[in-house]
């Protein structure tokens, strides 16, 4: 547990793995810090909205209030520049990892939508504070003094001070309401956005695997067969007789683990995994980011289908087809060419800033393909035959263990 909490603080809170790529890490950290610190001011805004007060914390916190709001302004200004830089990198500079086909349509729009929302939020903060700063001088009985705020002070001198009082009051309210509505809208929007990772990244990091990378989970049925075949002594061999053939691996999201599904919904779509994937870099179709996006899309589709089926059952309109499922699985989203291209190098796992494991899903789908469907790439068949007959993947005439025998 100690190691897991350490990962949460270093990787999720501290964004340790983000800093392997310094420029986007710094830009993201500025937005991340502003997002966290600004919530302090939002608490005050929320209280003011309920009780009809205005800057209710200012009289109690005194100089610390000035420092706090001033720090929020500086961070918000830095976050504004970082947001503009992200928009530039995505839409003008067009970095390779932001131009992949899996981002076409809604994913690309989603990323830009959030960035423009961030700009609107920052504009609301400065409109509220800048207008408020001038109103404090003109109507001191209604507007509590906040002290000198670094960014708003500049704005009040150059922009707001030339306006009449009624206009300033309207602008201050527009800034206040835009702040509130953008935050509430963002919260409602999160479940349909990749930015759900803001909440899920922390439990996802906590529940990440602690086994060595590349270690594959054993399958009891296969292990029992191998032990029986090799006649291993001292090993318990469980023989089970069943009319139902065992299913190995995963063909759909219901066959995956809860952690696999959490991985999919924690994906930030940053593309670091795809950017380091050797298969993708050599022009193959595999994109670890697309794997995670496809699993998320399929999971969402399954949940919606189950909801519709339950409504139909409650209305006594369920049909036999409804009980059979929607006739789709993960292979309708992820092609066999994609999962066969994976070299299992773990580069995608190493690159992910929130410890997502696309490789585990790929391996489970490959297990289903090979062990359950008995379908595989034609080029792999000689390897499987050699492994079965000689215990070695190479077609050599002697046994693999001959070299250790006494001469």
The CATH number, out of the four listed (1.10.10, 1.10.1060, 2.60.120, 2.60.40), of the domain defined by the range 220-230+245-376: 1.10.1060
- The fraction of the chain above a pLDDT of 70, given in percent, is 92
- Which pLDDT tens digit goes with each residue over 195-208? 898 889 999 999 99
Range 365-388 average pLDDT: 86
Helices 106-138, 63-88: axis angle to 10 degrees equals: 150
List all residues 6 or more positions away from 25 whose beta carbon is below 8 Å from its beta carbon. Answer: 15, 18, 19
pLDDT value of position 322: 52
| Cβ neighbours around 10 below 10 Å, total | 13
pLDDT value of position 16: 86
- Domain boundaries in the chain? 2-192, 220-230+245-376, 378-407
- Which pLDDT tens digit goes with each residue over 123-173? 999 999 999 989 988 898 888 888 888 888 887 777 888 899 999 999 999
Output the six-digit token pair for 64.
């610390």
- Which pLDDT tens digit goes with each residue over 338-353? 999 999 999 999 999 9
Q: CA 310 to CA 314: how far, in whole Å?
A: 6
pLDDT value of position 244: 66
**pTM of structure:** 0.82
pLDDT value of position 351: 93
pLDDT band at 242 (very low <50, low <70, confident <90, very high): low
* Long-range pairs of 64-71 with CB within 8 A, sequence gap ≥ 24: 65/146, 65/147, 66/146, 66/147, 66/148, 66/149, 68/40, 68/41, 69/41, 69/129, 69/146, 69/149, 70/147, 70/148, 70/149, 70/150, 71/37
């Amino acid at each position: 547990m100690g190691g897991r909490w350490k990962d949460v603080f270093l990787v999720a809170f501290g964004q340790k793995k983000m800093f392997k790529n310094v420029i986007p890490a710094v830009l993201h950290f500025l937005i991340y810090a502003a997002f966290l610190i600004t919530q302090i001011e939002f608490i005050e805004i929320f209280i003011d909205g309920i009780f009809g007060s205005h800057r209710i914390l200012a009289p109690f916190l005194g100089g610390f209030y000035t420092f706090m709001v001033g720090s929020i302004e500086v961070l918000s200004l830095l976050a504004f520049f970082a947001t503009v830089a992200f928009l530039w990198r995505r839409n003008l500079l067009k970095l390779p990892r932001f131009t992949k086909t899996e981002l076409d349509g809604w994913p690309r729009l989603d990323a830009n939508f959030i960035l423009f929302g961030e700009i609107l939020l920052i504009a609301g903060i400065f409109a509220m504070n800048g207008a408020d700063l001038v109103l404090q001088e003109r109507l001191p009985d209604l507007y509590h003094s906040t002290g000198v705020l670094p960014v708003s002070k500049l704005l009040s001198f150059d922009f707001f001070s030339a306006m009449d009082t009624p206009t300033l009051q309207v602008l201050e309210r527009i800034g206040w309401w835009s702040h509130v509505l953008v935050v509430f809208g963002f919260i409602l929007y999160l479940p349909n956005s990749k930015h759900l990772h803001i909440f899920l990244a922390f439990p996802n990091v906590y529940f990440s695997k602690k086994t060595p990378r590349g270690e594959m989970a054993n399958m009891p049925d296969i292990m029992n067969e191998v032990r029986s075949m090799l006649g291993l002594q001292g090993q318990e061999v469980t023989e089970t007789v069943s009319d139902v053939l065992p299913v190995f691996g995963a063909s759909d999201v219901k066959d995956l683990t809860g952690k696999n599904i959490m991985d999919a919904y924690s994906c930030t779509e940053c593309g670091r995994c795809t950017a380091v994937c050797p298969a993708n870099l050599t022009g193959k179709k595999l994109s670890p980011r697309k794997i995670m996006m496809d699993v998320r899309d399929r999971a969402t589709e399954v949940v919606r289908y189950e909801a519709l089926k339950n409504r139909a059952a409650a209305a006594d309109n369920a049909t036999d087809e409804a009980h059979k499922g929607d006739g789709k699985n993960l292979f309708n989203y992820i092609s066999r060419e994609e999962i066969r291209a994976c070299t299992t190098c773990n580069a995608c796992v190493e690159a992910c800033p929130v410890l997502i494991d696309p490789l585990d899903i790929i391996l489970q789908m490959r297990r289903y393909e090979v062990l359950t469907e008995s379908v595989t790439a034609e080029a792999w068949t000689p390897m499987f035959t050699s492994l079965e007959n000689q215990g070695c993947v190479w077609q050599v005439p002697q046994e693999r263990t001959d070299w250790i025998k006494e001469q």
